[in-house]
Amino acid sequence: MKRFFADEKGVSLLFEYILFSLICIGFFMIVSVNSDEIFMHTPNEVVMENEMSDIGNMMSTMITDMYLILPANGRIDTEYNLPPKVGTETYIINADIAYTDQIIELVSSDSGKKIRVTIGGIATTMPINGTASSSSTNHMISYDSRR
């Protein structure tokens, strides 16, 4: 073992140069082929996962908060802001399946990624429906007791 560390002989300078170049070229090729996946797609996926569930929770919070203070006769509507893009993609908030599944769904329009958020069982007593696109300028949740 001591001899192994003390031994300073290796390959010739030329062969070492060739070996090193091959390793570097191979590494570079692998990285450049996968660069989109490594540097764009994976971080984007993580950001989208976080942001979409965050926005889904925002919708859920607003709907449950509104449900708590609904007037017996009358109406209430509230505007809210959405980030136009999560990561690099636009998305659609879909509450149409809330009636059966108690769920709000966020669907990314490009990659089709879906995030689902529950709304705490409100939809059994009150139908919730509608869709909102992140790219439209005005977003609103409305309630009217007469409808």
Partner 1 sequence: MGSLRKDTKGQWIALSGLVISLILIGLAVLANQAILAGYHSSNAALEFPKENIRELNLHTHDNARMIRSMSFYINSTTNETVPDAFDQLFDNYSIQMKKLYAVHGEVVDVSMVSINSTTGKYTMDDIDMVLVNITYDDGITHYVAEPELIEVNK
- 38 makes contact with partner 1 (CB under 8 A): no
Q: Which amino acid is it at 89?
A: E
- 103 makes contact with partner 1 (CB under 8 A): no
Binding residues for partner 1, total number by CB under 8 A: 27
**Residue 70: CB partners within 8 Å, gap ≥ 6?**
76, 143, 145
Least separation in angstroms between residue 18's CB and partner 1 is 26
Judged by beta carbon, residue 13 or residue 69, the one nearer partner 1 is 69
- 83 makes contact with partner 1 (CB under 8 A): yes
- 57 makes contact with partner 1 (CB under 8 A): yes
d(CA 113, CA 41): 13
Q: Which amino acid is it at 133?
A: S
- 45 makes contact with partner 1 (CB under 8 A): no
d(CA 44, CA 142): 32
Judged by beta carbon, residue 25 or residue 126, the one nearer partner 1 is 126
- 79 makes contact with partner 1 (CB under 8 A): yes
Are β-strands 140-144 and 131-133 bridged in parallel, bridged antiparallel, or unpaired?
Answer: unpaired
- 58 makes contact with partner 1 (CB under 8 A): yes
Nearest-5° Cα angle at 81, 97 to 68: 60
- 136 makes contact with partner 1 (CB under 8 A): no
**113 three-state secondary structure:** coil
Q: How far apart are the two ends of the chain, measured CA to CA in Å?
A: 86
- 47 makes contact with partner 1 (CB under 8 A): yes
Binding site for partner 1 (CB under 8 A): 46-47, 50-51, 54-55, 57-62, 65-66, 68-69, 71-80, 83
